[in-house]
Amino acid sequence: MNSGNKYKFEKRKVLKHLYRKSSVYIISVLLLFIVIGLLTTVAPAYRISSETISDWTSEIESTSFLYLLGMENRAFREAYPEDKALPDLSDTFFQMATSIKPNDPRSLLGKEIPGMSNYAYEIIVAGEGTNYTNLPIESAPPLSDVLEDRKAVVDESGEMEESNKNTTDDNQHSTGNKDVVFIYNTHNTESFLPHLPGVDDPDLAHHKKVNVTKISDHLSKKLEQNGIGTEVADENIMGILNEKGWDYPQAYQASRNVVQTAMSGNDDLQYLIDIHRDAQGRAETTTEIKGKTYARIMFVVGGKYEDYRKNLKLANKLYDLFQKKYPGLCRGVVVKKGKGSNGVYNQDLSGNALLIEFGGVGNTLEELYRTADVVSEIFSDYYWDAEKVSKPK
């Protein structure tokens, strides 16, 4: 091939490559405009919602976004944590497309095995022995089983003697006539197997009188003794469900009305505490401190609302205080926002809203009251320290 022919051949080759590349660009731009046109003209019901996009991205590691920003701005790259490996983009895109985390089999099994979706928790702080196999179990029995009459046995003489030992000190802090804490029980009939003779099914551990409301009353009494004005809801949430013909999972909707009514009637309320009991067994929910057994607690934060990190910050602070004075008593802090869960728990009503799992189905009221005493002590320390900081000098 002479030089002239060779030049023409190379020229045709370059032009062909340019035409091909230009065609790709033109087709890509056309496709982009077509997609934009479809997204803007399709009926609203069929558009991709911001909630869908949020679901796609909510489970992606935040460091992945930081890494992408760092590709454009070196300042972000400098902030990338040294102990974090660079994200695997193929895993990230796979996760966005399928909602399956390559390193978390629960994301696959949860869709296939009934009940696995109940473990849609994210462990924020793992207390002693806490892992993904023993997180809180939120059972949802039929309302007819919840409201069934059962025999209960309880001796509270020891609790009354213990309570009478503590009286309010006239020299201590006090909120005066202001009630600043509101305690309520969304699942107000949750009870405890040791006080229900003949009952061994955790889903049937419910009673109209011997239940978590007793913990609320005890905690309220202790907080009052520490100078913190406290109001306790007396509404029967399960009764409300029955009256309205609602199902058990709608309990949070019923308790929401109770909380909103309390907030509208008292501008002094600063903290909301929803007390539950776990359906986990005694081995997971009991600890020993100085020769006495206590029911362990766990903080549950809903993650399906915008400002949940405020509530998470409060739960983390309280966990740290428990660890300093009563290590092992608190099982940890978890966020729950998976499909099939409520994920809000009325915590969107206040940045100072708490959901506390007090013990489990195998704990006794004596153990629970001891724990309530500790919770009162820790919360009071936190409350008065916070008041001291917030007051102007």
| Dist CA 393 CA 331 (whole Å) | 37
Q: How many CB atoms lie under 10 A from the CB of residue 82?
A: 4
pTM of the model: 0.73
| Dist CA 15 CA 178 (whole Å) | 83
Classify each residue of 138-158 as buried b or exposed e, where b means 16 or more C-beta atoms within 10 Å of its C-beta. bbebebeebeeebebebeeee
| Dist CA 203 CA 277 (whole Å) | 12
pLDDT score at 22: 72
- Residue 44: strand, helix, or coil: helix
pLDDT score at 172: 76
pLDDT score at 33: 78
pLDDT score at 114: 47
pLDDT score at 332: 97
pLDDT score at 341: 79
Domain boundaries of the chain, sorted by first residue: 3-46, 143-390
pLDDT score at 120: 72
Q: Quick one: tokens of 171? A: 């020299």
Angle at CA of residue 214, ends 210 and 215, nearest 5°? 130
Residues forming a β-bridge with 126: 332
Residue 99 main-chain phi, psi, to 5 deg: 65, 20
Topology classification of domain 143-390: Aminopeptidase (3.40.630)
| Dist CA 308 CA 351 (whole Å) | 7
Tens-digit pLDDT string for the chain (393 aa): 555 665 566 667 666 766 776 777 788 778 877 877 776 665 555 555 554 555 555 555 656 666 666 666 766 666 666 655 655 656 665 665 555 555 555 555 554 544 454 557 889 999 999 988 889 988 788 899 898 999 999 876 655 455 545 555 555 789 999 999 999 999 999 999 999 999 999 999 999 999 999 999 999 999 999 999 999 999 999 999 999 999 999 999 999 999 999 999 999 999 999 999 999 999 999 999 999 999 999 999 999 999 999 999 999 999 999 999 999 999 999 999 877 678 899 999 999 999 999 999 999 999 999 999 999 999 999 999 998 776 655
